[in-house]
Structure 1
Amino acid sequence: MADWITGRVKARKQWSDTLFSLVVDADVELFKAGQFTKLAWHGEDKKVARAYSYVNPPGQDCEFYLVTIPEGQLTPYLAGLDVGDELLVQRTAAGFLTLDEVPSGRDLWLMATGTGVGPFVSMLAEGSCWQQFDHIVLVHGVRLGEELGYREQIAELTQDQPRFHYVPFVSRETVADAESGRITHAIADGSLEQRVGLTLTPEHSRVLLCGNPQMVRDTITELKHKGLTKHLRRKPGQILMENYW
């Protein structure tokens, strides 16, 4: 239990039937935007813990963007928490989906599905990305319009950034200002690049992926067709990723 501390729910927001956010007051160690920690509950015989990215920038109240998995061991418990309730939070953060891991480039593409948008909201709020890149594109794919969580906050964070592009994708209904279909198809047919007026190239583009493993795999496949490669410390490339389960 050395690295676990007790946090207290300070606020919560329900985005849809299954999506919700928790703001938690917890004395965690300073982290980098894009990193994750673990939340847990302690039953009679075991502790159930799962990793969740910080949505907040470093130094603010901890915030997490969550989806309820009915058969899950933890999210039904977290979904039932209300203001004032306690939960366990791991004090130290982890993860390498951070801007200091990204090789220098001109354009930063942030591509997420579902709650995978969380770490990218943290980066936009933290703010160093604006000095590091000339253009930033946030692409967020969901099934339904109500699942475009943090859309208003993203607009507020970027209202003075003319070189920022927000491209929502909704696959199961038509939503104003959102693209229909899937992110991977829009990469394949060039329509994503056309919408933002930027080309995905190994020279200029750096891509961070965060979402379900199938989306991550399929997107990497499409990006490789454009000459981009996974970034490794021993062999620099253009694509960094985080699988969200």
Structure 2
Amino acid sequence: MTADDPFTRQTLSDINVWSPSLFSLRCSRDPALRFRAGQFARLGVQKADGSTVWRAYSMVSAPHDEFLEFFSIVVPGGEFTSQLSGLSVGDELLVGKQAFGFLTLDRFVGGRDLWLLASGTGLAPFLSILGDFEAWQRFERIVLVYSARTDAELAYQPLIHGLAEQEHLAEYASKLTYLPVVTRAQVPGCLHGRITTLLRSGELEQAAGLALDPLHSRVMICGNPQMIDDTRGLLKERDLQLSLSRRPGQVAVENYW
């Protein structure tokens, strides 16, 4: 590695297998890497033939953390994830020197309530945002909606439920409403159905005890592209518009596939 390389070599310190198809990786962090909560980095793994495969992954870790953490699905036969899921603690992971992405709170002007709508590994950037101070200080209410196929695929439950116990967030704990969603089964304590179905029926807002409206609501969406497109369409019908640099709005998205 030389100073001109666009990446650094980091060491894996922890691997957490959430389900047969979901796992997370934690590695060392180059002190020079700076990012905003919600952004992503390019990760590289070397194949047996010596070539390197790169993919974009949102940070789970907060900007102030001394480590980097990433959340991944295993794609059967996938060129990248089959290599990534085979790594062990102590192995090397290539991490790009620059962070990218616009799923960040500076996309929004004003707003009272922050809605974070995630499916699958799209949860990652929202954990980074919830680990940072800005969202808690800026918004009166935060609603995290996390959708998975089964309750076994609802990852990071200890972290989510433990947010209120983190010393630097304890005073803000009452601001958070967490709504887990399971699509394939009825599970106690979870909403049942797709996020879009729950939006159409009004069940999501009822469960949150909060209305979605253009004046007060700011909405971030991350997950599979179909979920994002369908959810954006429903929000647009209610005059919640995509936030652009030339026209600030109420919705920000990241296609996490």
Conservation of the 8 A alpha-carbon contact between 1:30 and 1:59: no
Which structure 2 residues correspond to residues 164-179 of structure 1 after superposition, within 5 A? 164-179=176-191
Dislocated runs of 4+, deviation >4 Å: none
Alpha-carbon distance between aligned partners in 2 of 1:225 and 1:178, rounded to the nearest angstrom: 26
Conservation of the 8 A alpha-carbon contact between 1:170 and 1:178: yes
TM-score norm. by structure 1 comes to 0.96
**How much has 1:135 moved relative to structure 2?**
0.5
Aligned partner of 2:146 in structure 1 is 140
Aligned partner of 1:193 in structure 2 is 205
- 1:81 pairs with 2:87: yes
Question: 3-state SS of the aligned residue for 1:162?
Answer: helix
Aligned partner of 1:56 in structure 2 is 61
Match of 2:109 among 97, 103, 124: 103
Conservation of the 8 A alpha-carbon contact between 2:243 and 2:250: yes
Question: 3-state SS of the aligned residue for 1:140?
Answer: strand
Alpha-carbon distance between aligned partners in 2 of 1:76 and 1:102, rounded to the nearest angstrom: 37
Aligned partner of 1:30 in structure 2 is 34
Aligned partner of 2:19 in structure 1 is 16
Alpha-carbon distance between aligned partners in 2 of 1:87 and 1:125, rounded to the nearest angstrom: 23
Conservation of the 8 A alpha-carbon contact between 1:202 and 1:238: yes
Aligned partner of 2:175 in structure 1 is 163
**How much has 1:128 moved relative to structure 2?**
1.4
Alpha-carbon distance between aligned partners in 1 of 2:152 and 2:96, rounded to the nearest angstrom: 30
**How much has 1:158 moved relative to structure 2?**
3.3
Question: 3-state SS of the aligned residue for 1:126?
Answer: coil
Listed as ranges, the gaps of 5+ residues in structure 1 are: none
**How much has 1:45 moved relative to structure 2?**
5.8
Aligned partner of 1:226 in structure 2 is 238
Indicate the RMSD between aligned Cα atoms, in angstroms. 1.3
Conservation of the 8 A alpha-carbon contact between 1:6 and 1:26: no
2:256 maps to amino acid: Y
Question: 3-state SS of the aligned residue for 2:41?
Answer: strand
Alpha-carbon distance between aligned partners in 1 of 2:116 and 2:256, rounded to the nearest angstrom: 15
Question: 3-state SS of the aligned residue for 2:199?
Answer: helix
**How much has 1:19 moved relative to structure 2?**
0.2
Question: 3-state SS of the aligned residue for 2:231?
Answer: helix
**How much has 1:235 moved relative to structure 2?**
1.0
**How much has 1:163 moved relative to structure 2?**
2.1
TM-score norm. by structure 2 comes to 0.92
Alpha-carbon distance between aligned partners in 2 of 1:72 and 1:45, rounded to the nearest angstrom: 17
- 1:237 pairs with 2:240: no
Aligned partner of 2:129 in structure 1 is 123
Alpha-carbon distance between aligned partners in 2 of 1:163 and 1:126, rounded to the nearest angstrom: 14
1:75 maps to amino acid: T
Task: Provide, for residues 108-157 of structure 1, a one-character-per-residue CA deviation record: whole Å limited to 9, x for no partner.
Answer: 00000001011101111112111110110000111010111112211111
1:18 maps to amino acid: S
Aligned partner of 2:51 in structure 1 is 46
**How much has 1:29 moved relative to structure 2?**
0.6
The answer to which of 108-117 and 123-132 deviates more is 123-132
2:28 maps to amino acid: D
Percent of pairs identical after alignment?
Answer: 45
Question: 3-state SS of the aligned residue for 2:14?
Answer: strand
